[in-house]
Every structure is written in C-alpha cells, then in structure tokens.
Structure 1
Amino acid sequence: MSTNESYDLVVVGSGAAGAMAALRAAHLGLSVLVVEKARKFGGTSATSGGVLWVPNHQLAPNDDSREKTMTYLNAVMPGPVQNDRLQAYLDKAPEMAQFVKSLGIPISVAAWPDYYQAAPSARADRSLIVDTFDGPQLGAYFPLMREQYNRFKVFGRYTMDVMQFFSLSTRAKGWVMTFIKMFWRYWSDLATRKLTARDRRFTMGAALMGWLYKHVFAKGVEVRLDTRLDELVLSDNKVSGVVVSHFGRRYTIEARYGVVLAAGGFEWNQELRDRYFPVPGLTRHSSTPEDANRGEALIAGLKVGAATEHTESGWWIPTMQMPMASASNFEEIHQAAFDVGRPHSVAVNRLGLRFVDEATGYDDFGKAMVADQLKTGANMPCWLVFDATFREKFSAGGIMPNILMPDRKIPPDWWDHYIFRADSIEALAGKIGVPAETLKKTVANMNGYAKTGVDPEFGRGGNAYDQMFGDWNVKPNPCLGSIDKAPYYAVAINCGDLGTKGGLKADARARVLDQNNQPIPNLYAAGNNAGSPFGNCYPGAGGTIGPAMTFGYVAAEDIARRAGKLAAPAAASVRAAA
C-alpha cells in the first residue's frame, strides 16, 4: 500500500468540525484533503438545526463575559471536565465566530435561552445561527451535500428556517401565509424544478454547511467522498498518514503535519453503545444519519493508544418511529424534542407515572429517561399521552397536526402500532399497557396543574426555556393545558440521540492524548469524535456544533503553527492552552 499522495493535513469527516478544520488550515496556507466515507458531504451537521453555542461571542453588544459564562457552567456541569480545555474553548470560540463573520458568512445572534434558566448567569443570547444559503452557489457540489431530513421540511419538500418551523409547528398567527409563501417560492423556481425536486434553499444546518463549504471549495480543498478511514499510519511514534478504502481499494495518504479526526461519534455502533452506555438503547433510535457514525475513527484512535473520556452518554433527544409513507416496510425516526412539552399532553413511563418536566431541554429529557429506566425498568420507551386539543394543534413526532394529517388519512396499519387512540383514558391505558388508575390520576393531576398554572412535581413551564415552546394562548401557564377532550392519543417515545458526548480524549489544543495523558504526535480530534468540553452537560442550543467548530479551528491553527504558517500564540492563549 505505497503512497503517492501527500498533504500537510488530512481531515477525516466532513461535518462542521471537519469543515472548519479544513477551512482554517487552507486559509493559513496548508494543503488539505478531506476524506468522507459517505456518498455525500456535510455530515450530521448538515441535517441538524445548525446552531452554535458561543458565549461572549462579541457579535452584538451585550454584557456577557468569560466570568459570567464560567459562573453558569460551574452551576450546570454535573461532573469534572478538563479545565484547560474548557478555558481554551471560552477563549477561542469567539475568535472562531469572528473568523466566520470575516468571511462574509451571515452569522447572527438567536434569541434562544440557555437550557438551564434557573442557573446563575443564564442568558438568551449565546446561541448563533447563519442565514439561509442558496444551494446552487455550490455549483456541481449542490446535489452532493447531505440533504435535510423530512422533519425540517413541510410535506417532505419545502424547507423551513427556525422561525418558519415555530410558526407552523405551533400554528402561530400568520402561519397559513407563512406556508403559502414557502409554497410559492418553491414552485416558482422553475429552473431548479427542471433539475431536481430538492429545495435550493438551504436552512438550519444545511445553511451552515453550505456557507462553510462555499469557502472550503473556494480554497481549492478536495473533499473525497466514498472514502473510509481504515487505520492510522504510525511512523517514528507519530501519526504520519491514513489508510483509506474506496469501494474496497485500500491505499495510503501521507499527512505531513497532522490528521484531524472529525468523523462523528459511535451512536450507530451497537457494540460500542453496549460497552459504554449505562442503558445502551438501540442504534435505530438515533436521529443522526442512518448507519453513518459507527465510530471507525474512534476505533482507529484506540488502536494507536488513545484515551477516551465522557463515553457514558449521548446528546439525548426524544424520538419516535414511523413508517416512511413512500417506502413500504421502511421506518424513519422523527425527533419529538419540543412536542413532549406542549400543553394538553403528559409524558409517562410504563407505570403511568411522570418522571420529568416534559418541557425541559431535550438532553435532560433523555437523561431523565435513562435515570428512570435504571430506577424502575419501565422507561425507554415512555409514552406521550395527549388529547384532541393537542392533536388539533401540535405534532407528535412524525404525526402532524390534524389539519395536515387528519385521523382519516392515517393508514389503518398505523393505529395501535405507531399511534394509539381511544375514547377514554382508561381505554387508552389498556391499549398501551399502562395501569389505568395510575394514568387516570396522572392526567387528573395535570388537569389541576393546568388550572393553577403551577406544576408542583417538576415545575413545567416555570422558566423561559420551557415557555419558549409553549402556547401563549394557554393560560395561565403556556406549557400546561388540560387533557380532557376525547379522543385521547398516545405515541411511544424512544431515548434517541444527536450523537455521542464522549470520544477520544483531546487536550486544549485538540491534540489526542494517550493513556498517560501525553499527546499522540500529529493526531487531533474535534466534534463528537472527541469528548465534549462540557462533559455530560448540554448548556445551550448549539452545545455540539459550537465546540466542534471551535476545536476544528484550534486544531488547524496548532498544525499551521508547527508547519511554520502561523506565529506563536499570544500570552492569553498560551495560558488557556498550556
């Protein structure tokens, strides 16, 4: 397997971490190759919400600071983390965001509350988003970028941005006009309709990746698809390249100064889930691209002696399975992140008992499912129970509101398998195998909470984050509505994920560490390929992509510095990265 290819840097994986590592390195004058095992580029990031959590970002006037951010993080992080790595993130994330802005990418502040609003120094301006992207700007690469899931489209066709999603999912005032405009924009685009059914308007994660790759390709970086990492090459005790395979042909590529592993986590590897997770769950419940993140880069790192951290948990999100309407015998996963906290509903375990503030952040919802499963053995899946009022207004995973998916349009084989319906709570309990009297009492309690506006059990609707996804037409608490209008419904909710929180242990310079906490020369990791700087904590919207892009940026700069393309860091950065 001789090599005749050589680059300064080889990046493994084409999601946000890999794209930023490639872009920053190319911007600093390094030759870069990105290898991606999938047939499309963009990774999980292209299918995501595309939000970055960047505290103290300085993109808009505010009074945030590193000190306030640390006050918040110290209050919400449940366990120990690498402090120098966390400090490096706080130093470099704003710099990374400024770099993105300097390229002309329309990055802006989103009014998205931190996930722990009761914690000191929580805010609602640390999350960043980018504006929509016109897909054909990628030229021939337009059809090769991974497409958004149907859950971010209307009728699997019309893409939505964040505001349109909230407008349509809650049927807010003006939602009909919102849809009409989306419909008209799509069908009036005659040129694109002649070529593809794909919407040329990239939103959310697709917008982020579209903008990044516009600049990656402009720098002449090659993204080589269908190219899987098989192993890392070691020479003189340092990583000197990669062995990859392309439709079965194996070959070696030299990396003169470094390899950045940015190939995602291991959520689609059942063996690794069974090894690391306290409650493994099924790969099939993940909401990331099917069979994509199987941990090949993690395994390659382990083979050269790398250590791991935070592998016991994923970025949890409640999900729901539903058949694909256009493909018999196939199912798809739908996120239910915000559905589980809408008014006129309650989430219960298989004992008929609540176990969480249903409107909490989706990661905490998943943590509660895991904890309840360990405690009772009667969770995973749990049940989302709701009434006809909820059914009229809100989605339940893949079950769209009644106006878009009336009961008469639901295929007969879905009833009592994917969605359950009954004329009474008792009858519904019988169908889903939950103790009827317990479920009746739980529902009665919720109806009482809806009247007072106070949830004494879990505090649902008692903070700004919860309320963001409620219905302000419901009084006195937008997250608590009575469950009293027949028929009654239930769907099973799985403990899904957005990837894994743990991976290779990397330091403040994104260098992969060995079992003795020493850097493995020339080997770097970023994104879900590495352990989260927050440990088992999801501090706010974009808590995955923000660090992914930051440490991709950090890795590129460290490699460029060693290659003589970048001066030594300033004193403050030395302090953070030491």
Structure 2
Amino acid sequence: MTAFIQSQTHYDVIVVGSGAGAMTSAVFLADQGMRVLVVEKSNQYGGTSAISGGGIWIPNNRYFSRQGGQDSYAMALTYLQATAGEHVEEARLRAYLDNAPKMIEQLARISRVRYAVAAKYPDYYPHLPGALAGGRTLDPELFDTSLLGDELANLRKPSPSTLLMGRIAWTARDAHKVMARSFGWRLLIMKLMLRYKLDFKWRRKSKFDRRASLGSSLVASLRRSLMDRDVPLWLNTDFCGLVTDNGRVSGVTVQRNGAELQLTARHGVILASGGFEQNQALRDQYLPKPTRRAWSATPPGNNTGAALQAGMAEGAATALMDWAWWAPTIAVPGEDKPRGVFAERAFPGAIVVNGQGQRFVNEAAPYLEFVDAMHQDNQKTDGRSVPAWVIFDAHFRFNYAMGPLMPGQVMPDSRLRKEWRDNLYWKADTLAELATRIGVDSAGLEATVAKVNTYAGTGVDLDFGRGGNIFDRYYGDSNVKPNPCLAPLRKGPYYAMRLDAGDIGTKGGLLTNEHAQVVREDGVPIAGLYAIGNCSASVMGTRYPGAGGTLGPAMTFGFVAANHVVACARKVTV
C-alpha cells in the first residue's frame, strides 16, 4: 500500500497547466526518461491554447527554407532587438532563436504534432529592420480527433469563431484565403463543407467536425502524444502552492477530490498555468484602468495567477506586469467569454470610433497595438475610448463578417437572434440615429465617415495609414481597389458593435533566465523552479512580433526547461 501511495505522489517533474507549453515540456521530459505528472485545475485540458489560432512564431525555421524562403538568425535577432530588446535581456532572445527551430523539428519527429508554414503571413511590424513578409509563422495541420478516444470529451472546445459555420475545421491558411477573397475562395468553402457533409459516420456522433484545427489541433495532437507515452494528466486538480526543501523547490501542493495533496518533484516543477487575467484583484493592481476580467477572451475561472503568486512568495522577480496580450473583444449574449476581434478590423468598409465619433487608431493594426491605443486615447478623451465602437454599413454587412455576425448574404438580419438587437449590435437608418442609440457624438461620427469616404476614394488614409503596409493588407479584401482595407460607408442601414479593451492573456509574470529558470531580484535562479508561457514575463517584451508570438515561446521554453531539468538531473546522478 505504501509503495502504491508513493507512486501516486512522487515524480521526477511536475508540470502545472495543460496548455501547449505545458504538454510540449512533458513530451520532451518523458522522451528523456523522466517520470512526469501534468496537473490541470479545470475539468478540461488545453487551456487558452485550445481556443487559440494555434500558430507558432518560429524564426529561421526549416519549413520556410524548404520552400525557398530566405531568413537568417541575424535577421531574426535584429527584428527581435527592435521589437523586444528594450525590455528583454539579449541572452533570453538568443535562447529563443537558438531553440525555437530545434524544438519544432524535434517535436515533429517524436510526436503527433504537425505544422505547415504560413508563407504569406507577415510579421506584425513590417517597417522594422529584420522583419519578413511571411514564413516565420507556422500553422497547425488538421488532426483526427477520433484518435483521442474517450479523451476527446475532456478537450476544451474551440471558440465558434475559429470554425467555418461554427462547426467545420479549417486551417489559418484556408481562413485567410476566404477572408481575403483570394482566387478560388468559394471553391475552397464548398470543398470544406462537402468533406464535412460526407463524413456521415462521425456526424451521427457529433455536429462538430471530426478534424480539429488551429489551437484545438495543436492541443489534441499533444494530448495524444502524452497518451502514447502514458504520461498522466490530472484534471480537476487545483495548484495551491510550492513545496521547498533547503531553498530548493521540491514539489507542489494541490487540491484534488476534496483533499489537499503534497506531491514530490525530485528534479523540478515547471509552472505553465497561464497568466492572471481572470483574477480581478490582480488586474486592478497591475493593469491599466479600466480593466475587467469579463473582457478577456480566455477561459473563465482559469488563469487566476496562482503560479505567479506562488513564485512571488518564494522571492521571485517579476516583469511586464502592466502589460497583456491585448485584443479587442465583443461580448456575445449567452456565451461564457467574449470573442476576440482579429481579422475583421482590416476588412474594408468598417471603422472604429471613440465616444466623440472620432477614429483614434489604424483599425487594421496588430491587436496588441489596437487596445494599447484604446487605453492611450481613453486617457486623452477622459474615458471616451473604452469601450470603442466599430461602425459599418449595409454593404459591409452583406459581404463581410464582424464577430459572430456572418456576412448578410449567409446570415441576413432576419436570421439573427432577436436578443442580439440593441445588445450585441445596434442598427439605424442614418448615422445620426445610430450615434444617438450608442451614445456617440453624431456630428463627430458623420464628419469622420465623410473623411474616411474620401480616403477610400484615393486609397490613402491620411490619418493613420490604414492599408499602407503588408500586414494591414493581409486580411484586406484583395478585390477592393485601390486599397484593400478601405471602402466608403454610404449605404444604410448602418450598424454598430461595442469593442471592449480585452485580452488573450496577461504578458507579465515571473522573471526567468535563458534556461527558463525563475530568478530572484538579484538574478540568482530559484533551484528547481521553472516558468513558461503566460505565467512568466514574455520574452517578446511589450510587443507582439508575429502570429504565434505567445505559443511559440511557450513551447520553445517548455523544450528549454525540459532539457535543462534533464541535464541537471544527469549531473546529480553521475
């Protein structure tokens, strides 16, 4: 009996969290002979990774070079120094660039994870030195979820906004082709729908596609890889704190099945449990005001900062605590979390205004910069930019999506839920009437629209340069000339939707070194303690260099942490 109990409480390494970074580290640890336990507080695995786009930003990767792409370590370092260098030590930047390509190459060899290069997805700051017009972001391939067996029921469900028609899996490359209306986009939709329709056997079990895509694909393939290695993943296991022995982290305490357990980790603990965006008290303490956990697009009840607080209790240093992976969000009635608004802001014919009816940012800008601009303008306008409002006309409504509103040609107003009217979206025959309905200055809105209509004619946004770079145009309509991101707003009725200053996770957390070890204020590592993902201070600093700038580092430093744990363990046993 004693041996059985010990086998359930003694491990080589304990990983806290079950997102992409956590499971990546567990795969690499298990492959090197470590006895690993993964603990997850939720009743579902995958965390925020499961509802994400699943992309990873991997500079100088072989996927791109095999297609003839040109990237280099030097170019990537130049770019990272331009984006993150002010806030991040060069040793961490180099550790990322050294290990990211190795991580994905090795993961592809030993696991079920499969990626393809998104060759046309540009870096987010194309004007900075070292930026590329594409090739650094990798996009998950589809994954057959029937391979999960009973574990499929425990996979965190993807957001409806990441699926075609709310139920059909598609890659980010497919989604881009459709959103940009590139040649063959209609045929692609028909092909995806036909594949789904003809899978009769699976559709008798579920209305959702057999295949997982985006973040759901990544998490499902990692979970299957853990199953291949018999790595236990405990759900409904709440991390309570760290256990130390003579200054070294030697385990964790958790709450499971109504009891508190102390678990031993002989060689280390890897914290990978997300940020603190779902903890309102910590948001109030650190993030710009106003701030609401209800605006976050992350899973409610998770990511409450337990790992952050446990590390700080052991003397860990922190950094970037006033930053988040900002993204504007739309609250959808009846859904447990809001939806991030990523691509739609670039579509031609929609603008975003503050309470004065004025634009304050390039609508097609990266989502982190977009919300940062909301906060900055909110200070200038005495609270008139949080929330902001996205405004569009009947032509936009017919042709494009906005949040949960599919294009009117697919989902006309008559088919929209009645409770969405004057709650999710507002509608009026004139701009002045619409402004009155949402509490926006009508004269300001009318003047702004008149100005934008002029810009649409010339193709040049004189205020914010919308559509003036390759990143803006990535999600623009390739058929709209002269600027794929600009179109006039002239056809009533007019629509408005509220945009909150949301996020997809916090950016600040425990400070780590180039080995993913948590360090104290003096830079000395806390022995046995590692942190990756959003519970650690981001290696990307205050910027977001490219799509996958969250998951890429989480998985890479999961790889780094695993290798460091193993190397240290081997030194001890020699």
Specify which of 34, 49, 56 is matched with residue 52 of structure 1.
Answer: 56
Deviation sequence 1:59-108 (CA, Å, 0-9, x none): 33233122111222232338421221111111111111211232364322
Partner SS for 2:419: coil
Amino acid paired to 1:120: P
Q: Distance in 1 between matches of 2:138 and 2:571?
A: 29
Q: Distance in 2 between matches of 1:150 and 1:447?
A: 33
Match of 2:36 in 1: 32
Q: Distance in 2 between matches of 1:212 and 1:22?
A: 9
| CA distance 1:388–1:127, shift in 2 (3 Å) | same
Give the TM-score, by structure 2 length.
Answer: 0.94
Specify which of 408, 412, 416 is matched with residue 422 of structure 2.
Answer: 416
| CA distance 1:447–1:472, shift in 2 (3 Å) | same
| CA distance 1:565–1:98, shift in 2 (3 Å) | farther
- Name which of structure 1's ranges 536-545 and 238-247 shifts more when overlaid on structure 2: 238-247
Contact 2:142 2:169 in 1 (8 A): no
Pair 1:87-2:65 in alignment: no
Q: Distance in 1 between matches of 2:165 and 2:551?
A: 27
Deviation sequence 1:97-132 (CA, Å, 0-9, x none): 211232364322112100011112210111112211
Match of 1:361 in 2: 366
Match of 1:114 in 2: 123
Partner SS for 1:538: coil
Q: CA deviation at 1:566?
A: 11
Mapping for residues 447-462 of structure 1, pairs under 5 Å: 447-462=453-468
Match of 2:109 in 1: 102
Q: Distance in 1 between matches of 2:104 and 2:417?
A: 47
Match of 1:18 in 2: 22
Q: Distance in 1 between matches of 2:90 and 2:380?
A: 32
Pair 1:315-2:322 in alignment: no
Match of 1:343 in 2: 348
Match of 1:469 in 2: 475
Match of 2:226 in 1: 216
Q: Distance in 1 between matches of 2:339 and 2:220?
A: 23
Q: Distance in 1 between matches of 2:116 and 2:415?
A: 40
Deviation sequence 1:269-293 (CA, Å, 0-9, x none): 1111111112252111111112211
Q: Distance in 2 between matches of 1:25 and 1:459?
A: 47
Q: Distance in 2 between matches of 1:280 and 1:418?
A: 21
Deviation sequence 1:507-554 (CA, Å, 0-9, x none): 110001123321111000001110101211100000000000011001
Q: CA deviation at 1:150?
A: 0.9
Contact 1:28 1:565 in 2 (8 A): no
Match of 1:76 in 2: 83
Match of 1:186 in 2: 196
Partner SS for 1:59: helix
Partner SS for 2:63: coil
Mapping for residues 235-384 of structure 1, pairs under 5 Å: 235-324=245-334, 332-376=337-381, 377-384=383-390
Q: Distance in 1 between matches of 2:355 and 2:511?
A: 37
Contact 1:557 1:566 in 2 (8 A): no
Contact 1:100 1:107 in 2 (8 A): no
Q: CA deviation at 1:317?
A: 1.0
Q: Distance in 2 between matches of 1:398 and 1:134?
A: 26
Partner SS for 1:517: coil
Contact 2:37 2:231 in 1 (8 A): yes
Contact 1:258 1:559 in 2 (8 A): yes
Identity value in percent = 41
Amino acid paired to 2:320: H
Q: CA deviation at 1:169?
A: 4.1
Deviation sequence 1:453-493 (CA, Å, 0-9, x none): 00111110001110111112211000010111111111011
Deviation sequence 1:234-273 (CA, Å, 0-9, x none): 1111111111111321111100000000001111111111
Q: Distance in 2 between matches of 1:154 and 1:163?
A: 13
Amino acid paired to 1:6: H
Deviation sequence 1:34-57 (CA, Å, 0-9, x none): 001111111111111011111112
Pair 1:144-2:154 in alignment: yes
Deviation sequence 1:203-242 (CA, Å, 0-9, x none): 0111112222222221221111111101111111111111
- Name which of structure 1's ranges 139-148 and 435-444 shifts more when overlaid on structure 2: 139-148
Partner SS for 1:257: strand
Partner SS for 2:501: strand
Contact 2:296 2:337 in 1 (8 A): no
Contact 1:279 1:374 in 2 (8 A): no
Q: Unmatched 5+ residue regions in structure 2?
A: none
| CA distance 1:565–1:125, shift in 2 (3 Å) | farther
Q: Distance in 1 between matches of 2:183 and 2:414?
A: 26
Q: Distance in 1 between matches of 2:239 and 2:264?
A: 13
Cα-Cα RMSD: 2.0
Match of 1:202 in 2: 212
Contact 1:159 1:203 in 2 (8 A): yes
Q: Distance in 1 between matches of 2:418 and 2:108?
A: 51
Match of 1:576 in 2: none
Give the TM-score, by structure 1 length.
Answer: 0.93
- Name which of structure 1's ranges 412-421 and 21-30 shifts more when overlaid on structure 2: 412-421
Partner SS for 1:290: coil
Deviation sequence 1:403-446 (CA, Å, 0-9, x none): 23211222343222221111111111111111111111110110
Partner SS for 2:328: strand
Contact 1:34 1:224 in 2 (8 A): yes
Amino acid paired to 2:94: Q
Q: Unmatched 5+ residue regions in structure 1?
A: 325-329, 569-578
Q: Distance in 2 between matches of 1:48 and 1:331?
A: 16
Q: CA deviation at 1:358?
A: 0.5
Q: Distance in 2 between matches of 1:168 and 1:392?
A: 15
Partner SS for 1:322: coil
Contact 1:264 1:295 in 2 (8 A): yes
Q: CA deviation at 1:167?
A: 4.4
After TM superposition, the runs of 4+ consecutive aligned structure 1 residues lying more than 6 A away are: 565-568
Q: Distance in 1 between matches of 2:165 and 2:63?
A: 35
Q: Distance in 1 between matches of 2:479 and 2:319?
A: 45
Partner SS for 1:284: helix
- Name which of structure 1's ranges 169-178 and 272-281 shifts more when overlaid on structure 2: 169-178
Q: Distance in 1 between matches of 2:296 and 2:53?
A: 15
| CA distance 1:221–1:566, shift in 2 (3 Å) | farther
Specify which of 547, 551, 555 is matched with residue 549 of structure 1.
Answer: 555
Q: Distance in 1 between matches of 2:530 and 2:518?
A: 5
Q: Distance in 2 between matches of 1:553 and 1:149?
A: 27
Contact 2:181 2:477 in 1 (8 A): no
Q: CA deviation at 1:332?
A: 4.3
